[in-house]
Structure 1
Amino acid sequence: MLAQRTSLFGLSGTAAARAAAKVAADAGKEIIDLTAGEIWSELAPTIREGAIDAINKGVNRYTDTVGMIELREALARKVSLDTGDTWTAEEVAVTSGAKQALFNAAMVLLNPGDEVIIPAPYWTTFPAQVLIAGGRPVFVDSRSNGYVARIEQIKGAVTERTRAIVVNTPSNPAGAVYDVQTLMAIAQLAINRSLWIIFDECYGDFVHGHHAHHPIVSVAPEVRARTLIVNTFSKSLALTGWRIGYLAGPKEVISAVKALQSHTSSNPNVIAQHAVLAHLQRGDGVYESKLRSRLANARRLGLNVLSSLTRIRVPQAQGGFYFYLDLSDLLRRKLEDGASTTADDIANTLLAEAGVAAVSGTAFGDPVGLRLSYGIPPDKLETGLSRLVELLNAWE
């Protein structure tokens, strides 16, 4: 009865994990939820003030399909500052979160049968949207290289049907940060083979230790004409529910996105647009600095707890706000004992026996991974990770 395309995708794996945690909590079980890709935080004052001002002024009408011109101009200034090159409002589309930006990119770039190279583990929405657009995801396993795809692997995956490469840095779920050399090599490959780069930098505000985030068009300016930048305020301003993101790229792509968006969502939420515009105009960086400091403290706390793991390596957590555990050694021992155990089994056991909700790596194309968010309050984080360490160290 349903369209054939519905067989190509299911419920997002991260959404399914959140739903399972909610079911357990609703049943009266004390659950510490480490599944969500969001930060528990108060609103930035400028966001709150911008939204309230817009409401008090009676703002309730359509805006331009791809966002208010004032907001797109402010975003163009932001992208210009981030990349070191000049961008204009005509090269920016405001979207209902990064997911719509990615969906728009897939729909305006891909023809049926086109291939898109996606390093694995990957955010679950990347391949789903390629499939919806009629394309074919081609996965490159990055686990052996610290979750950063090697350029040789990417080159080996290119065929005559390849249309685009997804670059997600810092990556979700693994938190890996791409180095300058790898980005330059990917850019040169895209130029040589006339490929598009879909550059997802949604976690770019959160890098840790000696690592740094580099927009690919800043390290290789010549690839700008073949690059679409995807970003959002869901992470950097802890606004997941407000659904404001943006897509930056060549004018002809943004023009096509505008036409597409006019038939899907019309414009993004007008109050959220005004709130983000107020922040871009009046924000002083204090809120972002506090948010980064909070996450840095949570990362230190979490890594300290996870250092007690006896059979699992402590994750590097270079960027973003996830700990990504490699369960391969633990699962290998179980297999040697004749038991077939998966990351799904471990996630289910954690929820049932320890009251800790995590996302199995199978959601990200990785059967031996486990994603844990540290964007939650520190007391809950410490309790949840301590329970997890105790269960995994005793795993038989």
Structure 2
Amino acid sequence: MVRIAERLKRLQPAATRMASERAADLRRQGRDIISLSTGEPDFVSPPSVMEAAKAAIEAGKTFYTPAAGLNELRAEVAKYYKDRFDLDYAATEVIVGSGAKPLIFEACAALLDPGDEAILIAPAFVSYVEQIRLCDATPVVVETDPETLDFSLDDIRAAITPRTRVLILNTPNNPSGRIFSDELVTGLCQLAIEFDFTIINDEIYERIIFDGLVYRNPLNLCPQARDRMLHINGASKALAMTGWRIGFAIGPQDLIKRMTMLQGHNTSGASSIAQWAALGGLRNGQAEIDQMRDRYQIRKDLITRRLSEMPHIRYIPPQGAFYIFADIRQTYGKKVGGMTITDDNSFCEALLEQAEIAVIPGSSFLQPGFFRMSFATSEEIINTAMNRMHAFLSQLR
């Protein structure tokens, strides 16, 4: 009998993948399920990406790349950070990986020893906890104010111990779409300097911003934290390249070197064609990114307007990304179709069974009492889903 490692026995499946796969399974059974569970743009990758990929294929660029990624792509990422944030990074301070998520895991593996601690700010992306645990380290969750989803710097300070090695910052946030204030982000940077830990700054949604707001990189606010900051970014969200699996990490050269060594023994590097495709998108895709962001703005305005008309629900207005994170605690104790809502999991189950809408419970993001739904889909689908949700909420008794 095969003996499974204890660390994998503790591993929990990703709730986002489980929800989307269950929705697909129900569709195969003939159910008319609308899935708002997956954080994936519904746009096909734009021409700047496709044309670069075709050119790479026709030129026969199908060989291994350096483990850290194509030199041209790493240099272009460094240029992007200079152009967008006025931050000076060399290509040797950039690594390209098979998506942002593997790079976060590589960073955790490079920074965390068994028994170390990593601070997470709830709500937090579903994979952070499991990746920290896979490194035999301990996730330390700091709660936020459920009315605003803002954290307290005093609470962060209280969570820091001599074993604290990492804090993961995600803004614009998945699942809430929150952009944390300059004051809060600056405070985190100052704490990282004071207590000598590394901030993994997951800013994968930094190009999807709404209502004329501006995203600022933490180092624009606190340049002194440069040696304690690793940026995580990529092509999946802004360039609609989820299936190409291309992410970037930008940070201190020694950390990038260690992550590259790990990647060399693991994947050997990302797909060559996908890297050339991402290079085309970075160089020539800004107008296409702007067009997609404008469509997300329309969808955000539509879904928030529709939700504002519904009973028993309160949402946190998203400032970026493409998610709504809604507070459904007022529905607790209510019934619909013979089902009683007792928590966010039972709410999502009832919504799926009674209204045929698939969403993700907030407890999967360390924030019980909420649920997440994506609006990275057409206005027609959003309107249909909101009609069903309004009817569902109106039936609660």
Task: Tell me the TM-score range normalised by the shorter chain.
Answer: over 0.9
Residue 225 of structure 1: SS of its match in structure 2?
A: helix
Aligned match of 2:195: 193
Displacement after TM superposition at 1:257 (Å):
0.7
- Aligned-pair distance for 1:210? 5.2
What 5-or-longer segments of structure 2 have no aligned partner? none
CA deviation string 1:125-173 (max 9, x = no partner): 1111010011100001113361222111111111111111111001011
TM-score computed with the length of structure 1 as normaliser:
0.96
- Written as runs of structure 1 = structure 2, the 5 A alignment for 1:240-251 is 240-251=242-253
Alignment deviations for residues 256-275 of structure 1 (CA, whole Å, 9 cap, x no partner):
01110001011101111011
**Paired letter, 1:119:** I
Q: Displacement of 1:340 after TM fit? A: 6.3
1:59 equivalent in alignment to 2:61: yes
Structure-1 separation of matches of 2:60 and 2:341 = 60
Cα offset for 1:332?
A: 6.2
Partners of 1:222 and 1:70 lie apart in 2 by 28
In structure 1, distance between residues paired with 2:84 and 2:157: 28
Instruction: Provide TM-score, normalisation by structure 2.
Output: 0.96
Instruction: Find the partner of 2:278 among 276, 279, 282.
Output: 276
The match for 1:314 is 315
1:344 deviation in Å?
1.1
Once the two structures are superposed, residues 88-145 of structure 1 have per-residue CA deviations (whole angstroms, 9 ceiling, x without a partner) of: 1000000110101101100000011111110111101111101001110000111336
Q: What residue in structure 2 maps to residue 352 of structure 1?
A: 353
Indicate which of 94, 100, 104 corresponds to 1:98. 100
C-alpha distance in 2 between matches for 1:352 and 1:106:
38
Is this contact kept in 1: 2:103–2:249, CA < 8 A?
yes
Residues 74 and 333 (structure 1 numbering): CA distance in 2 closer, same or farther, change over 3 Å? same
**Distance (Å, rounded) in 2 between the aligned partners of 1:30 and 1:197:** 43
Q: How many residues align structurally?
A: 391
Distance 1:74 1:211 in 2: 25
Q: Secondary structure at the match of 2:348?
A: helix
| SS of structure 2 residue aligned to 1:199 | strand
CA RMSD, aligned part only?
1.4
Deviation (angstroms), 1:329: 2.1
Q: 5+ unaligned residues in a row in structure 1: which ranges?
A: none
User: What secondary structure does 1:314 align onto?
Assistant: strand
Give the AA of the match of 1:255.
K
Separation (CA, whole Å) in 2 of partners of 1:114 and 1:341: 35
**CA shift for structure 1 position 350:** 1.3
Contact 2:363–2:370 (CA under 8 A) maintained in structure 1 = yes
After TM superposition, give the deviation of residue 79 of structure 1 in Å: 1.5
Q: Following TM superposition, by how much is the alpha carbon of 1:41 offset from its aligned partner in structure 2, in angstroms?
A: 0.5
Q: Distance in 2 between matches of 1:68 and 1:332?
A: 55
In structure 2, what is the Cα distance between the partners aligned to 1:22 and 1:143? Answer: 34
Confirm whether residue 293 of structure 1 aligns to residue 294 of structure 2.
Answer: yes
Which 4+ runs in 1 deviate beyond 6 A?
none
What secondary structure sits across from 1:234 in the alignment?
Answer: coil
> CA offset at residue 7 of structure 1?
2.3
